[in-house]
Structure 1
């Protein structure tokens, strides 16, 4: 991974919260990917899927039933530990690894997938690996969720107030030009990878948008997630960042995170709301698919 891909999720508590709170993927997405794979299936399943930047395995779980073997990697050992803990299948091999050096034979994969991850990769090296590991007729699938927003589940004043203020802070973190240096990366992700889409060295690239609403953001889970950001800040200020991000940017990011955490914790003190109160998270999933034969 490039220097932007620092280990945000290395702490066990952060990875645990990540595993519980990240949006999951639906069968519609899985079926669209399967329709794009041009290799032959055996006994109703394709042979090998490789996932890079797998996190704690949200996309892996949805796609695994359609393959005989699954090889899923993430640069974070803590994320891989979480993925193994939540693993429901005996044919998934979770390992620490990076997208630019995939531990797989050439022309071996029916599917190479990156869900909410390619914005951290060295694109030139990753696309070279995609060409190498995909079988003729194999498929690269890139998934990202775009235009997220929070919606109150009731019309009560406190919840609506809380949702609006959390949304404002989320927008500040993700879109504010004067915020963290990584804002360009987040903007690229939440706008559906426009620059990355153009950078894919392929004759033909296909995009499809899926819509889904998530309703599992309880107030207590949001608090947990916000407090985990403090651990991210602490991680960035220790020697354990392994030089994956320049020290100057580490410190600026840590300072920004600290301010946003304080802001969000103050917002979450609004009275009259149960910790089990649910706020809906709404987003569109956007997927880009490229078959092996289309790579230049």
Structure 2
């Protein structure tokens, strides 16, 4: 699955929206990841975690306490600025760097993780670096997710029958405002990384699914997630949302469509007290690389 690495989330404003709009990872996912390492390497705290595509540190902050040292990189300088500002631990070394040329020693990492980023990489070069950097028995972890399923809660309880309609509204808004390069990647993530999983050159690999649920979201949280997903640029392609004016127009249209869906189901938008957002997370673990 060779491809040219894609560079997205390159500006300060985009990185700021990414930090506000993207989910973190709960304890079920963290314990699954840490447990995958401990099945191979014994000990209460591992030596080194290497993270590529760290973004603003969503995975970094929850996994770092299980390691003595953490080396986290992202190709975007603005994402590294955000990650440093939001860091919750003091033993993380944040650096600008690529997944295809990792600045870590041979056979040094207990864990190498790419959360919501592997779909952007040149996989052949990335897996070559994974093979080089991991210790014998070390573990590669890949995490992916798309938009959440969204369920409104009113004074009469959760309106489950609206989940599909509202979630489809989120998906349509995102897809309609992605460039042609990113739409196939969106579906690769949505389907649980099938091509990427097949391409992993490891003797042991597995895939698990987790649901990360936020049950007190407001419409602004949904808006923030979409806002973080539609402002994308790559060197070879300018995506449709390249200005504040157009971005605002897309988000305003989304809110109007959202309210119309509620009203068509005889629900006043003002009566919705909160939303439940259910992210389906794909978590791939792999070890013993060929």
Q: Which TM-score band (shorter chain)?
A: 0.7 to 0.9
Is the alpha carbon distance of 1:252 and 1:145 closer, same or farther for their aligned partners in structure 2, counting shifts above 3 Å? closer
Instruction: Using the TM superposition, give the Cα deviation of residue 29 of structure 1 relative to its aligned residue in structure 2, in angstroms.
Output: 1.7
Match of 2:283 in 1: 287
TM-score for the superposition, normalised by structure 1: 0.80
Counterpart contact for 1:50–1:109, Cα < 8 Å: yes
Is the alpha carbon distance of 1:208 and 1:106 closer, same or farther for their aligned partners in structure 2, counting shifts above 3 Å? same
SS in 1 for 2:85: helix
TM-score for the superposition, normalised by structure 2: 0.81
Distance in 2, Cα, partners of 1:179 & 1:79: 20
Instruction: Using the TM superposition, give the Cα deviation of residue 146 of structure 1 relative to its aligned residue in structure 2, in angstroms.
Output: 5.5
Match of 1:58 in 2: 58
| Paired residues, number | 277
Matches within 5 A, 1:1-296: 3=4, 5-7=6-8, 9-37=9-37, 38-41=40-43, 44-145=44-145, 148-154=148-154, 166-173=166-173, 180-181=179-180, 182-224=182-224, 226=226, 232=231, 236=233, 244-247=234-237, 250-251=238-239, 260-261=250-251, 263-267=253-257, 273=269, 277-291=273-287, 293=288, 295-296=289-290
Counterpart contact for 2:107–2:134, Cα < 8 Å: yes
Is the alpha carbon distance of 1:30 and 1:227 closer, same or farther for their aligned partners in structure 2, counting shifts above 3 Å? closer
Counterpart contact for 2:72–2:92, Cα < 8 Å: yes
Distance in 1, Cα, partners of 2:102 & 2:134: 11
Q: Which runs of 5+ in 2 are unaligned?
A: none
The answer to which of 74-83 and 122-131 deviates more is: 74-83
The answer to which of 159-168 and 109-118 deviates more is: 159-168
Q: Which runs of 5+ in 1 are unaligned?
A: 237-243
Instruction: Using the TM superposition, give the Cα deviation of residue 117 of structure 1 relative to its aligned residue in structure 2, in angstroms.
Output: 0.9
Is the alpha carbon distance of 1:264 and 1:162 closer, same or farther for their aligned partners in structure 2, counting shifts above 3 Å? farther
Counterpart contact for 1:219–1:277, Cα < 8 Å: no
Distance in 2, Cα, partners of 1:198 & 1:23: 26
Instruction: Using the TM superposition, give the Cα deviation of residue 21 of structure 1 relative to its aligned residue in structure 2, in angstroms.
Output: 2.5
Is the alpha carbon distance of 1:274 and 1:144 closer, same or farther for their aligned partners in structure 2, counting shifts above 3 Å? same
SS in 2 for 1:203: strand
Distance in 2, Cα, partners of 1:201 & 1:189: 19
Distance in 2, Cα, partners of 1:5 & 1:202: 24
The answer to which of 72-81 and 270-279 deviates more is: 270-279
